[in-house]
Amino acid sequence: MAAVEALGLERFHLVVHDIGGPVGFELAAADPSRVASLTVLNTLVEVDTFKRPWSMEPFARRGIGEFYLRSLTKPVFRALMRLQGIEDTNAVTTAELDAYVDLLREGDGGRAAPKIMRGFERTLEKRRLYESALRDRRYPVQIVWGAKDPALKLAVHGEIARRAAGLKEIHALPAQHFLQEDQTRALAERVARLAKS
């Protein structure tokens, strides 16, 4: 909430993805009157039963996550992104992928990302809070999912989000985990369409 206040945002269209899902759900639950719409991308809702995929697990281990991020080379990171996250190899340049590594390490040497990965609460209470943020009828909600996500699968995690929101459909895009890179235009159109409703 402090970031929203610092930016002077009265109302905003909220788009959440991955570990940002729980962060965004907390924000929406704290002050739903400011949320103009909510778009949910490949994230987790049932945090109490969530099993981290292999690609996330090293970050969640104290000490190991920090070492893993410090020792991760850019070529290895690019290979992981191509394997797990980005379907269209032409959608993101090598320089853009390398920037992810720099941003993850910038300022604190890579301590923040593992801390965030370990920091969200995996409790039934939090799950219920996130479900309530998805069901809140003061703002429209949509689920947009990368249909080929190997980690947060459409048939499992996408369906969990759809049911929690009480929606009839998921807007599936031909992408893996990082659909905002793979399907930039299609995703922007979906967000704009919801924002106009």
Kindly report the CATH number that applies to the domain delimited by 2-50+122-196: 3.40.50.1820
Residue 125 pLDDT exceeds 90: yes
**Which amino acid is present at 8?**
G
The answer to whether the pTM exceeds 0.75 is yes
Q: What would the mean pLDDT of 149-159 be, rounded to a whole number?
A: 95
How confident is the model over 39-65, as pLDDT tens digits? 999 999 999 998 887 777 887 888 888
pLDDT at 61: 82
Question: Which tokens sit at 118?
Answer: 């370990």
Model confidence at 3, pLDDT cuts 50, 70, 90, reads confident
Is beta strand 12-18 parallel, antiparallel or unpaired with respect to 35-43?
Answer: parallel
> What pLDDT, on a 0 to 100 scale, did the predictor assign at position 132?
97
Q: What whole-number percentage of the chain has pLDDT above 90?
A: 58
Supply 149's token pair: 């996500």
Non-local (6+) Cβ contacts of 137 within 8 A are none
How far is Cα 57 from Cα 68, in angstroms, rounded to an integer? 11
Q: Distance of alpha carbon 44 from its chain centroid, rounded? A: 8
* Residue 107 scores a pLDDT above 80: no
What is the residue extent of each domain of the chain?
2-50+122-196, 57-117
